[in-house]
Amino acid sequence: MATSKKDMKRNEIVSLCVFATISLVLMIRYSFAPTVLIIAVFHQFYWRRRGLPPGPIPLPLIGNTLSINMRNPAKTFSQWHVLYGPIYTVWLPHPMIVMASHEVLKESLIRQGAAFAGRPSGYIWSMFTKDSVHGDGIILCEGERWEQIREFAHKIFRNFGLGRIQMEERITHHIDYMIGHIDARLHGKQIKLDMEEPISLCVANIIQDFVLGKWHKFGDPQFRMFKNLIDAVLSDVASKSVQLVNAYPVLACLPIPALRRYRENGFALQRYFLNAIREHEQHLEMDGEPRDFIEAYLREMAVQKDNPHFNVFTLALASGDLWTGGMETTVTTLRWALAYLLYYPGVQEKCYEEIVKVFGCEQPCYARRKQLPYVEATITEVQRVVNVLPWAIPHRTIEDVEIMGFFLTKGTVVLPQYGTVYYDTRYFPEPEKFRPERFLDENGYYKKKPEMNPFGMGKRTCLGENLARYELFLLFTTLLQKYEFRPIEGEPLPSLERSEGMTNVPRKYRCTVIPRRSLDV
């Protein structure tokens, strides 16, 4: 149930009263306390917040952490947007400036993108980057190293044919393998199936082919182990206990289960990529086309021997960033897409009819996607309504900057909130409703909205955006071309409740998978 503006104001007053009551009790109990407490209250509720955009009153030590709906953070951020406007401050538990409208995001991330291109350092990140001040890898890096590694990764993507037919051939190869596996399970009949495994393995194989030059077979225990590690890391990193340790690293000495798991699993992932690099080093060839990203990077290391930014450790982190970024959001989006199609069979049927009209029995191809406006609109509407990344990775100002009348000093942490935009009624009327037609114009053509940016904006736009778009389109169209997905008779529809974590992951569900009859075209 949504919290009203009146209720949120009341909650702030209650927070203030609680703090004041505690202060009063201490003043009565301890004779030296009055002056200290008066200073503390003044510091907490005025001095710390002066000059910052408005926002909810923070509690001592924990800030606004307890006020956030961890299953749907965007809902809380949207409520604060109504109360405080398009730019406001939250304390998690340190101040973080939230950019909560398309206009503010455009101004900060595009028009002043260079000033907002930094990444904040924190205990939970720096433990994996050898405490480097400017981070390492791609996602958690900034400065000269980030610019060089990102530019090199772009170059490798281009050389591997991303955006051209070579990449599409790689993708369809792994999709065909997935379809063969599903068909073997069906034997021409309908079955109850959890689609997470085939989708996850297919997407993982695509990105592993690109990054590591290898892929897994269905049932491979190494893949399941690897997937479980990533799922656990993304779940634990967003937990309140780990975020509290990030704010107060001294707490790391305490036996906190989520922190222990996060640390162990994070280093296990790092070792996985370091081992893969060692295997590549043993069989490295300098001639011909590189097999994958790791081999291309190792060749560049040999050329740039004196460049400190090209090293094995940075390669391991960059490989992990590409793998995680290319895997999690795509798999999650497709799982949500099938879940929503179970709720909206009419949408599924319209997509199927459009796919059959354009491709018939032929393999769908990305080049003809504009002939499938309703399919594109459906995929985009899934991305909007689900908002797979409720916790966008924060930015950091690398210089003093003014934004919408507020002066932000160098080092200010900024949180882009795309989910707030996706549920803003100015851009998307009746945002709670799943309605693909909102992305079609009056003539039925796909209509791109500038407020819809599932891959981010500005200098920190997702490096693998083109690959993800290929995967989403080709997997979605192929699955609907081959199968019909229905709810399991006698069982409830899948829950649309989100799971807590860095990504909005659907809860596990099964559906009835029915093979489509051969099309007479």
Q: Residues annotated in the binding site, as ranges?
A: 462
CA 319/CA 212 separation, integer angstroms = 8
Buried b / exposed e along 275-290 (16+ C-beta atoms within 10 A) = ebbeebeeeeeeeeeb
Per the CB < 8 A criterion, the answer to whether 352 and 306 are in contact is no
Cite the annotated binding site for heme by residue number: 462
- The alpha-helical segments, DSSP class H, found in 30-164 are 33-45, 73-84, 102-106, 123-126, 143-159
| The two three-digit tokens of residue 252, written as one number | 């790391």
Distance (Å) of CA 130 to CA 39, 125, 467: 38, 9, 30
Q: Distance from first CA to last CA of the chain, Å, rounded? A: 49
Q: Which long-range contacts (CB under 8 A, 24 or more apart) does 124-129 make?
A: 124/237, 124/242, 124/243, 124/245, 124/246, 124/262, 127/263, 127/266, 128/266, 128/267, 128/270, 128/317, 129/317
- Grouping H, G, I as helix, E, B as strand and the rest as coil, residue 203 is helix
Half-sphere exposure of 102 (CA within 13 A, CB side): 14
CA 253/CA 245 separation, integer angstroms = 9
- Grouping H, G, I as helix, E, B as strand and the rest as coil, residue 237 is helix
Residue whose structure tokens are 């924190």: 122
Per the CB < 8 A criterion, the answer to whether 149 and 138 are in contact is yes
CA 493/CA 512 separation, integer angstroms = 11
